[in-house]
Every structure is written in structure tokens, then in C-alpha cells.
Structure 1
Amino acid sequence: MPSIIYGSDTSHTTSSSANLIRRASLPVAILKRAETWLSEERYVPAANRLDVALYRRLAEHPDRVALIEDGEKVTGKDLLIRVVNLCQKLRDSGVRPGDRVAVYLNRSSEFVVAILAVVFAGGSHVAIDVGDPPERTRGMLEDCDPRLVVTDRVLSGRLGAGPRLPVLLMEDCAPASDSIAWEPVADLEDEPAVVIYTSGSTGAPKASLISHRAVTSRLNALQRSHRLGPSDRMVHHTACSFDMFLIEVYWPLMFGATVIIAEHGRQREPEYLARLMRDEGVTVLYCVVSLLDLFLLAHDEDVRFDGLRAVLTGGEPLSPELVRRFQARSTASLTNLYGPSECTIYCTAWECPRDPAPDTVLIGDAIDDTVLWILDEDGRPVPDGAPGELYIGGAGLAIGYLNRPELTRERFVPDHLGGSGGRLYRSGDLVQREPSGDLRFLGRVDRQVKIRGYRIELGEIETTAIRHGGAQQAAATVTGSGADARLTAFVVLPGGAEAIDRLRTALRERLPGYMVPAMLRTVDALPLTQNGKIDRDLLAKWAAPETMTSAPADGSAAAGQGLEDTITEVWGRVLAAPGLGPDDDFFEAGGDSFKAVRAVKQLEAVLGIPVSMRELLRNPTVTGLAAELGRRLG
């Protein structure tokens, strides 16, 4: 097995490959004919290996900036040394090929180093969002049973780790040497490199196992359609619980571009992200549809985003109206990506035409190494133009679900039509093919929904409400779309306001913030259809917000009432939460960055003065924001 040595000693190396690397100023010596696979790919093909592909790119361009965090630049050489050192620490701690390693870190260069080191060690990383409730985190750790957890001293206190869950602290992993050997593991192409958890209908998240081949296939397809080069910079801001973060980290590093790391916790601030993109010269951006909408809403209409050359979006339906608004403010191309996590990042793409702007937004056709079938309920291809369920095959398919053999068999089915390599994934999405050959997304076959790109099984919310929140019955529904999407849960729950408070606490302790309903409504009984099933159409009507009249822009609404009353009224509308108290926290009451933008815009219209997102973020209570704004109103 080849060894690649980091250090200044190159006396053992005489190959042309080694001379090339020495000229690039990286102190690397290649032993045991490692130059063979490095230059000719005879030993470990880089095309299907994340570790080898990343090593090649960073080693060939050691002085190129790979990461920028808070203005600090990390070169390819420095990143590689840190990754290989941590890789060795992982192996010294018992990590072996095929092991899972949980990464529990804030978004940072250390997070990037950690996930790369796991892959270099031959393992698969399970990146866990530090914003998830501790109980959910512990449940995922118990389910994935990692060899160890990579975290830091502050975050480790949340884990409650015991003998079965050893922890490796990043503070103890500073590079001890720049001459540590790295030995790539053979035959990893079809082994897991990434584990991604998504919402599960049974009340517990489920994990997809994603192979090296699947990730590299997707990144190579993306590179062929949206080529990145040394002059490109891409911001990493997406939560690690969403598989699109793989695009933001791996794609730039594999093809010589620079990753700009957004400060942890500031993804709520559109002004910060826009300033970061401007100051760091970001050229390529991925963001979910709702975040794209948020960027445009948070900035005046005369603010343009022409520094971008390409924007990728997806995760939710993209409206023609949003496409037109974006194209009016940026010269960048806009591409709509579609694909479930089980198919690794995306499997179709459609670049939105600019002239004329589209009246209908499609999801495109199959990307490279991908097979698509549109089938009816009996598994037969539908006629051209007819709707049906989308089945997906090809190199991007996940290996299956971790510890869920029955669910794996249910969703990953044999390819009885041929051409996909043996399996097809039942997406549960309804589509139809347009005359152009592109697909139109029609909706879901089941009850799964998406909010701001996150896949949510409504059954997980309902199960949690019953199992842990004391509800006798529960039914969740979603209304609106894009930035206006919100969850409402109807519950049969005796006990009045105190019981609702206990239920809300239980949901917040066990579900990530995007899955906690903005509104909890008690009912004596859930409505039923004539067939005895829950009438979800009626619940959706009950949950729909009342039509709001536009607020006056001359401050007259605030003139007749106190500032706190005005803020309470606006927040109540935005959050669909009447009865807010003066000390209630906007975000704890169901607010997020998208609702915050709406609240700020409505307050500006009512009060007649500018209100910034930063003021709301720093003063998230009614009394706090009233005091802040009151100083300006006199």
C-alpha cells in the first residue's frame, strides 16, 4: 500500500511526478511507487475516490488558497497537512476502513478538516448539526454507533459521552509534524464516505449511506455543467444536516476553487452574507429557494448581485415570479437542481432561461450517470406527458439506509426495466415529462414536505407530539410555500395552556428548529373524512392564515397605540401567534430568518423608519426591540 510522506526529505524520490510536486513547493516525498497512482491512476482511480481526488488537487496546487475563514487564508498545503495529521490521529484512535465517525463541530475550517480527515482515514463522516436538540443528537449517535466523535471541548459537554462513545477533541489534534505518512485504503469506491440523516416517518431520523462513487459522480457532473476554476470562490453556509453542504465544501476543493466559510450562527443575517460575498469576491452560490427569496426581500430593489456568475438553487419548488425577480437584479445564471438525499445531492438540473423569463419552472432532465423512469402504480412507464412517480437509478444512488433493511428494500427496488445498474430509488415525487424532454415537478405521492430545503416527514412531528408531548392525537400540516411556508400542528390535548407549553417544550427538545410547528392548535377531535381517515384537506384550510391587509407606510398605525403594542401586533401576524407577551422571544415563538425579514418589512411600513435585521437579532423580545426603536423615534 502506498505511503505519501509529508516533510522536507525528498531524497527517496526520483520520479517525474515527485519533481513536479517539488517544483510546486509542497514538501512531499512519494514512496513505494505511489507516483503510479498519483500520476496515472493505476492504483487508486481518483475519478471515483474523494480522498484521492482531493489529495491530487491540493498536492498539485499547494500554494493556492483552499479556505478562507474570517479573513484568514488556508493554502492547499496547510489544509493537507492538517487533514493528514488528523487522519493519523483517527487511525491511532482505532478508526478503520468502513467505520463511521461523527463530526460535531460548528461551521469552520476545523469542520472541513475533520470531514476530510475521516474520508482520508477510509471512514464515513456523520456530520451532525450542533443546533439540533441534544436528545435528537444523542438519538442519531446511538443509531449510527460511530467509532468516535470528533468535536471540541465546549461542544463535547452536550453529548453525555460514555465508554461506548469515545471523543476526539480538536484542541488535541494540532499538527505535530509535517512529515506524517498517509496510506490510502484500497477498494473504497463503493464504500460509504458520507452519512446523511433526514426526517423519518416513524418518529426517528433515518440515515442514507452515500458512497465515494456517488459523491464524485455528482461533483464531476456539476463540474462539467458549471465549471469551477482557480478564480472562483464559493461560500459555505448551508447546515451540515442538508446534503447540499457537500457541494459547498467538496466541489471547490476538488477543482481548485476557494471555499469561503460563513461565520457560524450568522446565516440568519442576509446583510452579513451579502457583505461576505461582496468582500470575498464570491462567484458561485448555492442556496435553497427560500433563502434566495430572503436575499431579495432583505435588500432594496436597487441592490444588485452582479458579482455572482452562477447561482444554484433547489430544495423547494421555484416559482417563475422569483426567477424574474432574481434575473432583474443579477447577471448570474440561475440553475434549478432537484434530487433527494438518497440520490446524492441532485439528479436533474434546469438552467432558467433569461430572455424571455420562464412562465413555468421545470426541474430538467437526468444529469450524467443517471437513469430516470416515470412509472404508474403498477410499475409501468406512463405515456408521454402523463404524470407518474419518478424512479431514479445510476451512479448517484445511496447504498441504502443505515440499520433499516426493510425500508431499504421498500425504497430501493430492483430495476425491472434495465439500464440503471440493478436498482432504482422510488422518490415518492410526482412528475411529468414536457415535450422538451424536461421534467415538471407536480408534488408528493406521500405526506413528506419540504420547508426551506429540509425534508420533513409530518409523521415524525406527530409521533413526537404523542410519544413525548402528551397529545392523545396529533396531525401536522404545512401551508404556504417558499419563505411563507409554515407548519401547524393540531392536537387533542387536555390541560389548557400549561399542557400546550409542555408540548411545545417537548417538541423543541427533540426536533430541530425547522420541524417545530409555528402554531399549535388544540381541537376536541381531529376531523375525519367519510372513509374514517383524518381530513387533512380540512386541516390545511383551518391552518391557512387569514388574509392580511397591507399596513400603512406613514406611521399612522403606530400613532394611536404604544410601540410595544405595535410590535406585538406585527409579530403576532407574522408568527401566527396571537397573545405574545412583552418578554416573549421572537425566535423561540417560532420565528426564523424568513419570518424576521417579513417582520422587519412590516415594522418599517407601520413605523415609517428603517428597521434592520441586526436590531431584531440583538433585541428579540418585544420590550427589547421597543426600547431600541424608541430611542430613534424619540
Structure 2
Amino acid sequence: MTAGVTTYAELDARAAAFAGVLRRRGVAPGDRVAFHLDRGAEVFVVMLGILRAGAAYAAVDTQYPDARRDMMIRRSEPALLVTEPGWGGRFTGLGIDVLELTEPGPPGAAAEHPLPPVSPAQPACVMFTSGSSGQPKAIVLEHRNLVHFAVNPTLPALTADDRVGHVSSLSFDAFHFETWCTLAAGAQVVVLPRMPDLIGGDVQNVLRRRRVTAMLVPTMAVNHVVREDRDAFASLRILHTGGDVVQPATCRELLGGAFAGSFTNLYGPTEVSTACTAHRITDVAADAGTVPIGRPLAGGTIHLLGPGLDEVADGEVGELYAGGPGVAWGYLGQPALTAGRFLPDPWAGDGRRMYATGDLARRRPDGALEFLGRADDQVKIRGYRVEPREVEQVLCRHPEVRDAAVVVVGEDDNRHLVALVVPYDGLAPKQLRAYATEVLPDYMVPSSVLRVPQIPANGHGKRDLDELRRLAREHLRRAEDWVRPRDDIELYIADLWEELLAVERVGATDDFFALGGNSLLAFRLLRRIVKELDVRLEPFDVLSTSELSALAALIRSRKELLTI
């Protein structure tokens, strides 16, 4: 599982031993045990040991800020926290029992403390997802939820010969595929760099060198990687994607290259155990504005309901309610919220429940579902109700648009839409607005179009809505405060930034990073300046001098030194 190899026999023995250690520390069935560990084989030992002891695990990613880390630990109310050697001091203020992991335990530890039986309805893990109050919701998943996803026959079957790439955060539900689907098939887990690090390098080379055959890759990462190298995933037998909207252009590029495996679009909130629908992507029409999320996984149900919880007709928009064995227990410590989102399923009976996802969808004539966005994303523009996702789909039908996101800025009567667009080539914002005017009612036409090099993603590979809104606000501010470049060097830098950042009308007071720049683009900027202006600059110069006029002044001073 790491640079070395852990066999299933070793994993079994070490997990059993660690379960014995937990029992000796007083962990009882029904307890929760949090762990804060680096990625590697020990994580799987600890998770299995916790489950064998009859407890539920709460994975707290080591990359999270201290405040969020501590909040997650407190919210999970653990009987014990397991962490790396030497890290125990980080948690002294939490008032909980801490176990620093050195060795999982002696081989006989489990025998000294017989392990309890575990039922399918017993809690297995606590996962966190964002909440409207700003406080993450703690979702309790049961053993049967994980099993429903791990062995579901709707999904392409893993085999013992597969090598599954582990790239996700331990706190993200994609980790269920990397863990439980893999272990259920007797396959191998291959620990790869985290997704942000992986996509910053040569993805194709890493996957081939590590002989990875199957992955679940966040949608935003697939959109980004395939844009740079459509054959990046060509070595995979199975590629799942999910977490956000996969773009039709991405699918066409991927399927038009060397990739010949199974490509599946998964949909499902954490509350339904990673996925509740799946769609095998085999081809995407040139004029398609969206990719379906497919049909329910085997054993699950999907109902599209109106405000009165009546089923809507095919082709009509309804809120998506998911039922079946994947539906979670509920939210830890939030009974009112649980009762409001996990409702009795009138189509199932037997006390079974369905989860109100808050997502809008419609069923196509062929039975496949189309995702249309969040119900709570709907806004009123000039008195009309508008779904930003619908506007995005229309923009993505333009042949020169690779990806698009639409956000709402302003308040009350000043509320309007801003489109952030990743173009294929030289598409001008005014051209896209003209197109939108032809195919959309005027109240749905974005008032402003901003070209961006990519749609920003957060650490989980989902759209970073806060960053999208920030970019939109910055774009509008720049339009008001624009300062004309004042000499040839400032004009050169402005043109270069417009090219690299896919923005327009860069001014002398603009900031490279505020416009959407990052360290990778900064290094491309550095290489161009050094080559084209014949001036000596270091990476630190570009990273620390991000305002255009200041960078121009630095270049002038360096060029003056060369002429002395």
C-alpha cells in the first residue's frame, strides 16, 4: 500500500491486533474513534481495527487547518483519538484521550479481548460535509451503507488484479471507493500523491509507472487534466468521476484519445454513501450541454418530486430524493436536521427512509437523469426565477466553450449574473454574450463574461464557489478602477497576463494572483519574460512582485543594470 507492500494476511493480523489495543483502552461497541494520520498503510490498519472493535471511525485529514481539525474532532465526540507519534501535544486542549500510534499491538492482543459482533445497521464512520450555518454536518454512515456501495453490481467490477489509485482526502467520501471497493475485490491500493500534487505533474507517467488500473477522480480534476493531456488516464481500465459537473467537451476529448476503459459519471451526496446513480459515458453529442448522471445503483431508488412530494412527469424538473440501502443514519447530534432531510419513504414502507438531496434533476425520455443544480441556488433576477446551472449548460453548448460557471453577484435589485468561461481559443466575451442573447431570455443573459484559464476547485475537487464569486467581484471592480498601462513594458506585461490568464483589459494596478494566477502560471510568466525581454529574473521576483506596475518597475531596474 505504500513504498513497501502490505499483504492481506498482514493487514488482517495487524487490524485484529489493533482492535485488541482499542478494547484494552476501553473502546466499546457504538463508540467513535477519530484518527489524524498521514496517508499510508497504517490508515487501513487503524480503520479496520476500529470497525472490528465495534466502533465507528472519523477520519480527520492532516491537511486541514488546526481550527477545522479541532472542530471535526470535537463534533465527532470520540472516545479516543489515534494520531502519529509525537503529535499528541497538538490535542491537549481538546480534553480527549489520545493514542499515539507506534505499533498496532502484539499479535495476541485481539485474543485477550474478544471482539464484539457487528450488525449491518451499526454505525461505521462519521463523514463531514459543509453546512448552511457555516458549521460542517457530521454524517453517520452504517456498515450496510458502505457495503451497498462497495459491492454494487451496477458499477464496473474490480478484480484481484486491479491496482486502485488512492489520491483523495481521507475525510472525503471518494475514499470509500479507494478503500472498500478495493478491499472487497481483493485488489491493491496504490498510495499516490494527493490530487493537487498529482495534477501538477505528469499524470500519465505516474499512473503508468505505478501500474494503476482504476481510479475515482474528482470531476474538476478530470476536466483540468484532460484539457492538458487527453491521454492522461489512458492506462486505466476503470475511471470513475464525480463530485461536480463533468463537461461534455472533457468527455469528447477523453473518449477521442487513447483511453479505452470504462468511464462512469457518479452522482451522490455523502448522505447516500458516495453514489446513488451512475452513467456509463460512451459518447457525447457535439451539441450536448450536459452529461447525464444516469440511473439508480442496484437496490436504490430515485424519485423526482415537486413541492407537495408528488412525483413529477418525465421531462419536468423535480427535487431528487434518494432511497435504498445507501441512505445514511443521519446527522450526529442534530435530530431536527435529520428529521427534515431523511424522510419516510412512502414507496418503500417497512420504516425505510429517503434522503432529500436539495438537487434538481429531470428524467430524459431514455430514463437517464440530468442534474440541473441546487434547488437553493435558484435566484430571482428582475423578478424572474433563474437557475444558474441552466445558464451554464447553454453556454457550454457554444463550440468554443470548454467549461463555464455562472455566479450571482450583487443584492436585491442590483443582483445579476456573471459567467466565468474557459474558452478553447480566442473566444471574446462579447461574442459569447451575443450568443447567449440569441438563445436565452434577456433576464438569463449574464451581464458580464469573464475568461478564466480554469474553473477553480477546492481541496475535494469540487467547484470553489467562494473563489468563483471573488473572481467575479474582482472582475467587476477592475472594470471600474482600470488604469491604463503607461509604457511599453507595462503594455507587454498586460498583453502577456491577458494571454496566460485568459482575461481582458489588464491594467497597471492589477494583481497577478487576484486575476486568477497561481504558482504554475507564474513560472510560465517568468520563462516568457526572461526569454522575450532578455532580462534576469528569479522565481521569487515574480512570486513576490504581483502588481503589474511593480513588476514593470523591477524589470526596468534590471534592464538598466545590464546597460551600465
Q: Above 0.5 in TM-score?
A: yes
Of 272, 276, 280, which residue of structure 2 is paired with 1:343?
272
Q: Provide the residue aligned with 2:242 in structure 1.
A: 314
Q: 2:455, 2:463 within 8 Å by CA — same for their partners in 1? A: no
Shift of 1:266: 6.2
Q: Provide the residue aligned with 2:254 in structure 1.
A: 326
> AA paired with 2:267?
Y
Verify: 1:168 aligned to 2:168, yes or no: no
Q: 1:106, 1:264 within 8 Å by CA — same for their partners in 2? A: no
Shift of 1:91: 1.4
How far does the alpha carbon of each residue in 1:413-449 deviate from its partner, in whole angstroms, 9 at most, with x for none? 1223435852111111110000111101111101499
Q: Provide the residue aligned with 1:191 in structure 2.
A: 122
What residue ranges of structure 2 are gaps of 5+ in the alignment? 379-387, 390-406, 408-414, 423-452, 480-486, 533-537
Shift of 1:108: 1.6
Mapping of 1:386-465 within 5 angstroms? 386-418=316-348, 422-447=352-377
Q: 1:132, 1:513 within 8 Å by CA — same for their partners in 2? A: no
How far does the alpha carbon of each residue in 1:191-215 deviate from its partner, in whole angstroms, 9 at most, with x for none? 1101110111112111111000011
> AA paired with 1:484?
Q
How far does the alpha carbon of each residue in 1:488-535 deviate from its partner, in whole angstroms, 9 at most, with x for none? 9xxxxxxxxxxxxxxxxxxx9xx99986944897xxxxxxxxxxxxxx
> AA paired with 2:22?
L
Q: Provide the residue aligned with 1:138 in structure 2.
A: 70
Q: Provide the residue aligned with 2:197 in structure 1.
A: 267
Shift of 1:154: 4.6
Verify: 1:354 aligned to 2:324, yes or no: no
Partner Cα separation in structure 1 for residue 194 and residue 205 of structure 2: 15
Shift of 1:305: 3.5
Describe the SS at the equivalent of 1:267: helix
Q: TM-score, normalised by structure 1?
A: 0.64
Q: 2:139, 2:331 within 8 Å by CA — same for their partners in 1? A: yes
Query: Does 238-247 or 336-345 show the bigger shift?
Result: 238-247
Of 28, 33, 53, which residue of structure 2 is paired with 1:101?
33
Q: Provide the residue aligned with 2:441 in structure 1.
A: none
Describe the SS at the equivalent of 1:621: helix
Partner Cα separation in structure 2 for residue 520 and residue 358 of structure 1: 28
Q: Provide the residue aligned with 2:209 in structure 1.
A: 279
Partner Cα separation in structure 2 for residue 438 and residue 623 of structure 1: 51
- Would the alpha carbon gap of residues 569 and 265 (structure 1) be closer, same or farther in structure 2, given more than 3 Å must change? same
Q: 2:18, 2:110 within 8 Å by CA — same for their partners in 1? A: no
Describe the SS at the equivalent of 2:165: strand
Q: 2:199, 2:221 within 8 Å by CA — same for their partners in 1? A: no
- Would the alpha carbon gap of residues 160 and 410 (structure 1) be closer, same or farther in structure 2, given more than 3 Å must change? same
Partner Cα separation in structure 2 for residue 573 and residue 384 of structure 1: 40
Partner Cα separation in structure 2 for residue 257 and residue 623 of structure 1: 49
Query: Does 438-447 or 208-217 show the bigger shift?
Result: 438-447
Which protein has greater RCO, CA pairs closer than 8 Å, 6+ apart? 1
Q: Give me the identity figure in percent.
A: 30
Q: 1:81, 1:178 within 8 Å by CA — same for their partners in 2? A: no
Shift of 1:580: 7.6
Shift of 1:81: 2.0
What residue ranges of structure 1 are gaps of 5+ in the alignment? 1-66, 451-457, 459-474, 489-507, 522-538, 548-557, 610-614
Query: Does 383-392 or 113-122 show the bigger shift?
Result: 113-122
Partner Cα separation in structure 1 for residue 293 and residue 192 of structure 2: 28
How far does the alpha carbon of each residue in 1:376-404 deviate from its partner, in whole angstroms, 9 at most, with x for none? 01111112211110111110000000011
Of 204, 212, 234, which residue of structure 1 is paired with 2:135?
204
Shift of 1:217: 0.6
Partner Cα separation in structure 1 for residue 304 and residue 195 of structure 2: 41
Shift of 1:275: 3.2
- Would the alpha carbon gap of residues 420 and 571 (structure 1) be closer, same or farther in structure 2, given more than 3 Å must change? farther
- Would the alpha carbon gap of residues 388 and 224 (structure 1) be closer, same or farther in structure 2, given more than 3 Å must change? closer
Partner Cα separation in structure 2 for residue 191 and residue 516 of structure 1: 35
Q: 1:287, 1:313 within 8 Å by CA — same for their partners in 2? A: yes
Q: Provide the residue aligned with 1:76 in structure 2.
A: 8
> AA paired with 1:391?
Y
> AA paired with 2:280?
E
Q: TM-score, normalised by structure 2?
A: 0.72
Partner Cα separation in structure 1 for residue 63 and residue 492 of structure 2: 32
Q: 2:304, 2:317 within 8 Å by CA — same for their partners in 1? A: yes
Mapping of 1:551-570 within 5 angstroms? 560=489
- Would the alpha carbon gap of residues 107 and 377 (structure 1) be closer, same or farther in structure 2, given more than 3 Å must change? same
Query: Does 392-401 or 101-110 show the bigger shift?
Result: 101-110
Q: 1:389, 1:429 within 8 Å by CA — same for their partners in 2? A: yes
Shift of 1:168: 0.8
Describe the SS at the equivalent of 2:201: helix
How far does the alpha carbon of each residue in 1:300-328 deviate from its partner, in whole angstroms, 9 at most, with x for none? x6x55331111100111111111011112
Describe the SS at the equivalent of 2:302: strand
Describe the SS at the equivalent of 2:376: coil
Of 359, 375, 378, which residue of structure 1 is paired with 2:305?
375
- Would the alpha carbon gap of residues 179 and 209 (structure 1) be closer, same or farther in structure 2, given more than 3 Å must change? closer
- Would the alpha carbon gap of residues 111 and 318 (structure 1) be closer, same or farther in structure 2, given more than 3 Å must change? same
Partner Cα separation in structure 1 for residue 8 and residue 542 of structure 2: 41
- Would the alpha carbon gap of residues 310 and 141 (structure 1) be closer, same or farther in structure 2, given more than 3 Å must change? same
Partner Cα separation in structure 2 for residue 334 and residue 604 of structure 1: 37
> AA paired with 2:138?
A
Shift of 1:620: 8.7
Shift of 1:346: 0.3
How far does the alpha carbon of each residue in 1:170-204 deviate from its partner, in whole angstroms, 9 at most, with x for none? 12x34433674374432421011011101111121
> AA paired with 2:46?
A
Q: Provide the residue aligned with 1:225 in structure 2.
A: 155
Describe the SS at the equivalent of 1:287: strand
Q: Give me the CA root mean square deviation.
A: 4.3
Shift of 1:297: 3.5
Q: 2:164, 2:189 within 8 Å by CA — same for their partners in 1? A: yes
Partner Cα separation in structure 1 for residue 468 and residue 235 of structure 2: 39
Partner Cα separation in structure 2 for residue 603 and residue 579 of structure 1: 19
Q: Provide the residue aligned with 1:524 in structure 2.
A: none
Partner Cα separation in structure 2 for residue 180 and residue 418 of structure 1: 40
- Would the alpha carbon gap of residues 564 and 268 (structure 1) be closer, same or farther in structure 2, given more than 3 Å must change? farther
Partner Cα separation in structure 1 for residue 541 and residue 8 of structure 2: 41
Partner Cα separation in structure 2 for residue 184 and residue 395 of structure 1: 26
Verify: 1:129 aligned to 2:58, yes or no: no
Q: 1:214, 1:395 within 8 Å by CA — same for their partners in 2? A: yes
- Would the alpha carbon gap of residues 563 and 127 (structure 1) be closer, same or farther in structure 2, given more than 3 Å must change? farther
Number of residue pairs matched by the alignment:
471
Q: 1:430, 1:441 within 8 Å by CA — same for their partners in 2? A: yes
Q: Provide the residue aligned with 1:119 in structure 2.
A: 51
Q: Provide the residue aligned with 1:62 in structure 2.
A: none
Mapping of 1:147-162 within 5 angstroms? 147-162=79-94
Describe the SS at the equivalent of 1:238: coil
Q: 1:479, 1:543 within 8 Å by CA — same for their partners in 2? A: no
Partner Cα separation in structure 2 for residue 481 and residue 119 of structure 1: 45
